[in-house]
């Protein structure tokens, strides 16, 4: 099967990290197709960046579905544009936050997401609530810009470690840690070794959920909030971006 | 004071309805500036349409703030793009759903939103939950396309009436009705007369909330999830849309 | 329009503070009528004081409505007697706690109420829950008697400042502060300047909500819990207090 | 031990029904002292009546405690004035709604309160929520005035039966029934026989809870919201009612 | 009346402590029959121990009901096997955790359970949630093995005291303390004296609830989740344990 | 990898249905080992049956882990004994209810479980709540005994179909259906075809979740509620059942 993994920010080096993480856990007969969105901000830090990442993301999903993908993954921990993507596509679409939380819920009663910037903490708390994990899952921000994770000279990884240590020691009483940014995927193995608790990467978790849904023959229900978009005119420059037209062309 | 009212769909005739409703309740020293988004779908029915309405909406808000607006209103009942707009702007930004619910909560313990399409029902239920009204407020869909509200030959208004009657009679035990679409604003007076209960239009409610916040000297807190967006590169065609660049030019 | 503002404790100097705050934000064509309850405790600190403040409060509301008020405000942060007042009156009735929370919810995702006495903290937590703000809004008590706010020799204002500083720094991660007592209304401006975050006074917020509801043509729904009281005999001394008789006489 | 049972409405015949129900289940060494409030409405139907029943109720509790009662029961299903009474008294104070719900929770997972008037339904729903029974307990109103329960010519009892039948058959899937008015206490036995399910009367339940707390040596915690009222001036006619002065005199 | 108190662990010395606590508060005409389960772990610390304590517990309940008990108490703070016991028996069955929480809810708004082992904390949090006390009741573990409570040379009682002191001082702002293990029952009086707040023992609380339900003529509703078990074959060794067969023999 | 699938009831023919469903979706390199519990009731219908199914279930899990299983599945929709099994085992343990709900949550916003007996409805509602799906997922009982699903002459399948049709049509507004009993697994394909909506079988879903967790290198966190059971004496006949001893022998 073919799984499309869309990095909704426009930084190709982060896509490489994501692709590595996805490929490492994929079944042997799964083809991972990782793409970088061609439009939007270079990193997604808060609501504003999210808004401008969505059109480019949807375009990649429309193109990927037309090209034969069996499932799609949105590889930003904000699950950017997830609802719109599910309305657009017929294949299943998975967010890496929801996949990470679903996997962790099978192995721990209390856990903590450690994310990058304070401005992403509340959006993630909303997701935690939406996914039914409020009361089980706290969110902490290590106060590190997303792209600093790729900079070997930054102290980003030290701050991440420090915040994990706090989550294990303090009131969270975390039994497991969820990495709250796609750009942390390459750190999973070493953090598990260092802290001796389950550490969950959403990219890898999403690949396994995508494979699972395809194997189960399940795709997005189309009779409620995810009914296919109605055909209607688009005005202005955005007309040029309408994914269904692009995908069809 | 000047209040910007953005219709985030691209149908100018609906903007006229919205402007009328806004002007009717505005203080005498309030200037209502109603604008139609220049980009995006002609109506917003579900998650997909929302996603494509946001960039055009944010552009209007950036332009309006630069031009001196004291507050902004997003005149779609999905509160489309509200979080991103609050992160972008320094002036207060109000959604018509949240304004309608806040007003109704002062006058009734149980109430019902009657909206247009089934596919908008669940997004509105999420808003009801987020705004703390779960348990007090039900959502019903009259199963009418948004633009049919403007078509005198459609049965849209009859279906709306029928759904209101059900909400007053059935398990909702609604004490008041909230009109769940900006395009219903012109019906407020006649529905109040017909049903003898409070009927709340979000556009009018939002105008009064905007006036209130400005008079109170309050604007969006900038130290949490609504911190101003970080300056960063945009790639691809969306670069051309970055509202802060456009507003500044 | 005329807005009745009832101070439900019997301390006239506090009514003056309340009236100042109300007048400062009222529209030019709004008449503020501030009255002190003629019966009950000199300050409201906890459930017991609340209970004895209600009959005098209801009497003022009945008299005010008969005299032509368009809306009424209950100027105690416990929203003392709010439900009974709504059942009694036909004009809209607003509590200053609910008004403050509604205004703050438009500008911040997380905020903290700083109130006076520990014994008022749990009653306010119940209000926060009832108004749908649990999870967004914490309550802190500065441990200061209500009337000490009027005593220049007390350290009440220092303790208030200290508690605000804690709310901004600690786990609350408050983005805005709500002043949890009508007697704090005169401190709003200086606290905003000092802390650089939105500081919300419930008296002012309630005036704008009252103006809004009147302008919108909305009043309390009368088909549910707020149906007008049934006419029935009163026995004993309380018979003399029945507001509807007094207002009618 | 001596248990004070206060009927907070001023109808002595209802006190007789209450006293019978209380005496029937009391331990042999328990003295039931049932009193009728001397001030206030003849029945309590909704928020307004509640407000005017509280001062008279508190006065009886203060007098009863001074006279040596070991526990007090508030015999109105709205648990009228319960928080204020707990702050006032040092002996335990029990509401009949909370007692009924606590007893029923030991024997059923889903149950339904059947009360009198629609205007009491929402206040009871708030109690159900506060007592942690939301999701387990529905509230239905049989649409019968409280005092009609005492009128053999009314159809009150038929309507009550009809509403119970609905609760057992419909979506409630009620496993047990709670009688939602002190005036229904005398019907408990016959309704149990008729419907073959547990039927719970709050007056009887409260007597047993009061006995339990006294036997356990437990009384209201005085370090939080129920701290004893501060001594302070009362102004106006209510000064004459201050329970602590009356009890002390 | 006769009340069966089952200690579901197999340590007879703990049963003696339980019996003492039960006898101390029972009515003079109540016979306490305390039994030790004949099968299972010597102490119940966590989910695994619970699972193996249930069959022996159910057997004692079946035997006790056959022998004429009017109510049964499960004297482990995890309320081990409570739902299965309610389905099995026709007499009321009470867990000591639910009884303790119900009693405490009548006298305090905020309270804290102090239990033994960290591994029991989350199971108790689930019970707190199920019994509708989330938001009112915290759970703390003193990190002491259950059986160390019986060892005069252990520091168990000191650790318990220390955790209570923290609950009264810290964020819990506990107004009362609930002892989270049947083996703590003998400490109730001295802890009350030491800390000056209500301290609640679940064994004693359950005795009074059992007496209450019997006096009220109430037993488990049999039309929902607690319908009597269907008669069906048991296979393997467990066949020998089927309580209904044993009780009947 | 090897996945142990335990049927915790003692009916071998149902194990065959379960094994078929598991094998159909397993990866080619996954070995499914389906076992029937050797002790306990022939079907699990309610709390009592659950209690007696747990020891036999835990014994199979202990044996399977010792024999080299990489993950274990509990193939009863009540997720019987799940917490105890997670405390016992070091390999991941999955319940079929939680697996079904997790899968469905990726493809639908609202869905309905259709289970067998009314007495199982409330236990499943508790699971739905625990897994964070309250508000998204209803539970309906088709009123069919578990074993009737295997009887071609029963009307069980017709009743199941009828209840699904109701869930799709009525207030649930279900977008997808979850089959609420392991014994329904063989009906998945035909029900999907008949109703045209996603139909989810928990057995198949659990196999994919088990494969996912193993591939992700994740297993149960052992620092909280799932810490390994402490070594301690077992008394009476249950001593003979202690899984860890049996597995070790």
- pLDDT tens figures, D142-161: 999 988 998 889 999 999 99
- Beta strand A71-74 pairing with A137-141: unpaired
pLDDT level of residue B35 (50, 70, 90 thresholds) = very high
Supply the mean pLDDT for chain E: 94
Share of chain F above pLDDT 90, in %: 89
Supply the mean pLDDT for chain D: 94
Q: Is the pLDDT of residue C226 over 80?
A: yes
Q: Is the pLDDT of residue C45 over 70?
A: yes
pLDDT level of residue C178 (50, 70, 90 thresholds) = very high
Q: Is the pLDDT of residue A156 over 70?
A: yes
Contact, C81 vs C190, CB < 8 A? no
Q: How far apart are CA B175 and CA B167, in angstroms?
A: 9
Which pLDDT score, from 0 to 100, does residue D246 have? 67
Do chain C and chain F touch with ≥3 beta carbon pairs under 8 Å?
A: no
B24 touches chain C (CB under 8 A): no
Averaged over F193-214, what is the pLDDT?
Answer: 98
What is the architecture, at CATH level 2, of domain C2-97+205-248? Answer: 3-Layer(aba) Sandwich (3.40)
How many beta-carbon pairs under 8 angstroms link D with F?
4
C147/chain B closest Cα distance in angstroms: 25
Which pLDDT score, from 0 to 100, does residue C132 have? 97
From chain C, pick out residues whose CB is under 8 angstroms from the CB of E135: 129, 134
Q: Which of A122, A128, A129, A138 to mutate to test the interface with C (most CBs of C within 10 A)?
A: A122
From chain B, pick out residues whose CB is under 8 angstroms from the CB of A224: 118-119, 122
From chain F, pick out residues whose CB is under 8 angstroms from the CB of D135: 129, 134
Q: Is the pLDDT of residue E77 over 70?
A: yes
Which pLDDT score, from 0 to 100, does residue C58 have? 95
Q: How far apart are CA A175 and CA A141, in angstroms?
A: 18
B130/chain F closest Cα distance in angstroms: 14
B63 touches chain D (CB under 8 A): no
Q: Could A232 and B88 be called an inter-chain contact, meaning their C-beta atoms sit closer than 8 Å?
A: no
Where are the CATH 3.40.50.12500 domain residues in chain A?
Answer: 2-95+205-248, 98-201
Residue F232 token pair: 């301690």
Please tell me the CATH code under which domain F98-202 is placed.
3.40.50.12500
Supply the mean pLDDT for chain C: 94
Q: Which of E122, E129, E137, E171 to mutate to test the interface with A (most CBs of A within 10 A)?
A: E122
Q: Could E208 and D205 be called an inter-chain contact, meaning their C-beta atoms sit closer than 8 Å?
A: no
The beta-carbon neighbor of B109 closest among D122, D129, D134 is D122
Q: Is D230 exposed, middle or buried (0-12, 13-18, 19+ CB in 10 A)?
A: middle
Domain A2-95+205-248 falls in which CATH fold?
Rossmann fold (3.40.50)
A228 touches chain F (CB under 8 A): no
A130 touches chain C (CB under 8 A): no
Q: Could F223 and A102 be called an inter-chain contact, meaning their C-beta atoms sit closer than 8 Å?
A: no
Read off the pLDDT of residues C188-215 as tens digits, 9 standing for 90 and up: 999 999 999 999 999 999 999 999 999 9
D43/chain E closest Cα distance in angstroms: 25
Tell me the DSSP string of C123-153: HHHHHHHHTT-TTTEEEEE----GGGGG-TT
Do chain D and chain A touch with ≥3 beta carbon pairs under 8 Å?
A: no
pLDDT level of residue A240 (50, 70, 90 thresholds) = low
Which pLDDT score, from 0 to 100, does residue C240 have? 67
Q: Could D40 and C238 be called an inter-chain contact, meaning their C-beta atoms sit closer than 8 Å?
A: yes
Nearest Cα to Cα of residue D32 among D245, D228, D185 = D185
The separation between CA B150 and the C-alpha centre of its own chain, rounded to angstroms, equals 17
Which pLDDT score, from 0 to 100, does residue D53 have? 95
pLDDT level of residue A246 (50, 70, 90 thresholds) = low
Q: Is the pLDDT of residue A33 over 70?
A: yes
Where are the CATH 3.40.50.12500 domain residues in chain D?
Answer: 2-96+205-248, 98-201
pLDDT level of residue A43 (50, 70, 90 thresholds) = very high
Nearest Cα to Cα of residue F190 among F201, F203, F174 = F201
pLDDT level of residue C235 (50, 70, 90 thresholds) = confident
From chain B, pick out residues whose CB is under 8 angstroms from the CB of A122: 224-225
Averaged over B104-116, what is the pLDDT?
Answer: 97
Averaged over B224-248, what is the pLDDT?
Answer: 81
Q: How far apart are CA A71 and CA C7, in angstroms?
A: 62
Residue F94 token pair: 């999955």
D111/chain F closest Cα distance in angstroms: 13
Q: Could D213 and E25 be called an inter-chain contact, meaning their C-beta atoms sit closer than 8 Å?
A: no
Where are the CATH 3.40.50.12500 domain residues in chain C?
Answer: 2-97+205-248, 98-202
Supply the mean pLDDT for chain A: 94
From chain A, pick out residues whose CB is under 8 angstroms from the CB of F102: 102, 105-106
Averaged over F79-104, what is the pLDDT?
Answer: 98
Q: Is the pLDDT of residue A78 over 90?
A: yes
Q: How far apart are CA F210 and CA F146, in angstroms?
A: 25
- Nearest residue on chain A to E123, judged by CA atoms? A109
Where are the CATH 3.40.50.12500 domain residues in chain F?
Answer: 2-96+205-248, 98-202
E79 touches chain F (CB under 8 A): no
Chains in contact with D via at least 3 Cβ–Cβ pairs below 8 Å: B, C, E, F
Nearest Cα to Cα of residue C53 among C31, C80, C71, C78 = C80
pLDDT level of residue D37 (50, 70, 90 thresholds) = very high
Chains in contact with F via at least 3 Cβ–Cβ pairs below 8 Å: A, B, D, E
Please tell me the CATH code under which domain D2-96+205-248 is placed.
3.40.50.12500
Domain A98-201 falls in which CATH fold?
Rossmann fold (3.40.50)
Tell me C199's DSSP state: E
Q: Is the pLDDT of residue D235 over 90?
A: no
Contact, D111 vs D84, CB < 8 A? no
Chains in contact with E via at least 3 Cβ–Cβ pairs below 8 Å: A, C, D, F
Q: Is the pLDDT of residue E249 over 70?
A: no
Do chain D and chain C touch with ≥3 beta carbon pairs under 8 Å?
A: yes
Q: Is the pLDDT of residue C61 over 80?
A: yes
E189 touches chain A (CB under 8 A): no
- Nearest residue on chain C to B108, judged by CA atoms? C221
Q: How far apart are CA E140 and CA B210, in angstroms?
A: 46
Which pLDDT score, from 0 to 100, does residue D240 have? 67
Read off the pLDDT of residues C106-123 as tens digits, 9 standing for 90 and up: 999 999 999 999 999 999
E134 touches chain C (CB under 8 A): no
Where are the CATH 3.40.50.12500 domain residues in chain E?
Answer: 2-95+204-248, 98-201
From chain A, pick out residues whose CB is under 8 angstroms from the CB of E122: 109-110
What is the architecture, at CATH level 2, of domain E2-95+204-248? Answer: 3-Layer(aba) Sandwich (3.40)
Which residues, at least 6 apart from D33, have a Cβ–Cβ distance to it below 8 Å? D2, D3, D4, D5, D64, D69
Do chain F and chain E touch with ≥3 beta carbon pairs under 8 Å?
A: yes
Which pLDDT score, from 0 to 100, does residue C28 have? 96
From chain E, pick out residues whose CB is under 8 angstroms from the CB of C134: 135
A188/chain B closest Cα distance in angstroms: 27
pLDDT level of residue B238 (50, 70, 90 thresholds) = confident
pLDDT level of residue A80 (50, 70, 90 thresholds) = very high
Q: Is the pLDDT of residue A237 over 80?
A: no
Which pLDDT score, from 0 to 100, does residue E171 have? 81
Q: Could B200 and C218 be called an inter-chain contact, meaning their C-beta atoms sit closer than 8 Å?
A: yes
Which pLDDT score, from 0 to 100, does residue A172 have? 87
Share of chain F above pLDDT 70, in %: 97
Q: Is the pLDDT of residue D238 over 90?
A: no
Q: Is the pLDDT of residue F173 over 70?
A: yes
Averaged over F116-125, what is the pLDDT?
Answer: 95
pLDDT level of residue F248 (50, 70, 90 thresholds) = low
> What phi and psi, each to the nearest 5 degrees, are found at residue E116?
-85, -75
Q: Is the pLDDT of residue F241 over 80?
A: no
D182/chain B closest Cα distance in angstroms: 25
Averaged over D23-31, what is the pLDDT?
Answer: 97
E176 touches chain D (CB under 8 A): yes
pLDDT level of residue C243 (50, 70, 90 thresholds) = confident
In the stretch 89-118 of chain C, residues with CB closer than 8 A to chain A read: 109-110
C167/chain D closest Cα distance in angstroms: 21
C222 touches chain D (CB under 8 A): no
Q: Is the pLDDT of residue D244 over 80?
A: no
Which pLDDT score, from 0 to 100, does residue E236 have? 80
Q: How far apart are CA A174 and CA A195, in angstroms?
A: 12
Read off the pLDDT of residues C132-167 as tens digits, 9 standing for 90 and up: 999 999 999 999 998 899 888 999 999 999 999 999
F136 touches chain B (CB under 8 A): no
Measured over the CA atoms of residue B187, residue B189, residue B190 and residue B196, the dihedral's sign is positive
Tell me the DSSP string of F187-216: GHHHHHHHH-S-EEEHHHHHHHHHHHHHHT
The beta-carbon neighbor of E208 closest among D92, D173, D215 is D215
C110/chain A closest Cα distance in angstroms: 9
B136 touches chain D (CB under 8 A): no
pLDDT level of residue D243 (50, 70, 90 thresholds) = confident
CB atoms under 10 Å from CB of F134, counted, come to 14
Chains in contact with C via at least 3 Cβ–Cβ pairs below 8 Å: A, B, D, E
Q: Is the pLDDT of residue B37 over 90?
A: yes
Averaged over A8-18, what is the pLDDT?
Answer: 96
Q: Which of E9, E13, E48, E84 to mutate to test the interface with F (most CBs of F within 10 A)?
A: E48
């Amino acid at each position: 099967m073919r799984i499309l993994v869309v990095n909704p920010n426009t930084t190709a080096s982060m896509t490489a990290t994501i692709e590595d993480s996805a490929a490492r856990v994929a079944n042997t007969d799964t083809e991972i197709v990782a793409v970088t969105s061609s439009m939007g901000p270079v990193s997604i830090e808060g609501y504003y960046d999210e808004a401008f990442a969505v059109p480019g993301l949807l375009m990649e999903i429309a193109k990927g579905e037309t090209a034969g993908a069996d499932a799609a993954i949105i590889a930003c921990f904000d699950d950017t544009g997830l609802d719109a993507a599910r309305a657009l596509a017929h294949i299943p679409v998975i967010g890496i936050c929801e996949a990470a939380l679903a996997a962790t819920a099978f192995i721990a009663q209390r856990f903590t997401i450690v994310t990058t910037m304070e401005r992403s903490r509340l959006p993630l708390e909303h997701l935690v609530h939406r996914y039914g994990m409020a009361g089980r899952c706290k969110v902490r921000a290590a106060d590190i810009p997303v792209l600093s994770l790729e900079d070997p000279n930054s102290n980003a990884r030290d701050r991440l470690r420090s915040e994990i240590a706090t989550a294990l020691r303090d009131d969270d009483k975390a039994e497991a840690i969820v990495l709250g940014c796609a750009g942390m995927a390459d750190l999973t193995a070493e953090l598990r070794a260092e802290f001796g608790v389950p550490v969950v990467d959403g990219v890898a978790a999403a690949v396994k959920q995508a494979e699972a849904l395809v194997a189960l023959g399940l795709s997005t229900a189309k009779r409620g909030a995810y009914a296919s978009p109605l055909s209607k005119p688009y005005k202005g420059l955005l007309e040029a971006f309408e994914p269904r037209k692009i995908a069809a062309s």
